[in-house]
Amino acid sequence: MNLEIKSRLYSIATFLLTPVVLFRLAVRGIKAPAYFRRWKERFGVFPNPNFKKSILIHAVSVGEVNAAIPLIKALMKSYSDYDFVITTVTPTGSDRVQQIFGNSVFHLYLPYDLSGAVKRFLRKIKPEIAVVM
């Protein structure tokens, strides 16, 4: 099976599973209301930050954020003319980013792996460098 067919099948599968993902998000949101806040970001919907140059760093949750702190601080010194976007997937990861970096970085939830969500996200962020922890 060639790559194009695999890619299309993957896109169809992720689209069809979107209701399951939304249900899971709703259940998590009932247990922890922070999951409901900023839910649109998970679909790549957020105000356009108008970055000229940006560096994207993805850290899943608190542990990865903690591990990334020295790297982020070093990159911020070396690339002081860049905007820094840190993505997480959990509210606790988001809280940790805000606690450590405050307004010196732009935090977003990483969008779900849906074609439209990822395209919207990348079109707005336009990262020149991306680091995945």
How much is the pLDDT for 100? Answer: 98
> pLDDT: is 71 or 18 the higher one?
71
How much is the pLDDT for 114? Answer: 85
How much is the pLDDT for 77? Answer: 98
Q: Which domains does the chain have, with CATH numbers?
A: 41-132 (3.40.50.11720)
How much is the pLDDT for 23? Answer: 87
**Region 58-63: what's the mean pLDDT?**
96
**What pLDDT digit, counting tens, does each position of 15-57 carry?**
888 888 888 878 888 888 887 788 899 999 999 898 989 999 9
In single-letter form, the type of residue at position 90 comes to T
| CA pair distance 48, 4, nearest whole angstrom | 31
How much is the pLDDT for 73? Answer: 98
Sequence-ordered strand ranges (E) for the chain: 54-58, 83-88, 106-109, 127-132
Distances (CA, A) of 54 to 26, 43, 85, 129: 32, 20, 7, 7
How much is the pLDDT for 74? Answer: 98
How much is the pLDDT for 5? Answer: 86
Candidate from 14-28, 59-73, 75-89 with smallest mean pLDDT: 14-28
Q: From the candidates 4, 41, 64, 128, give the one annotated as an active-site residue.
A: 64
Distances (CA, A) of 113 to 2, 11, 40, 46, 49: 21, 9, 14, 16, 21
Task: Please confirm, yes or no, whether 41 is among the known catalytic residues.
Answer: no
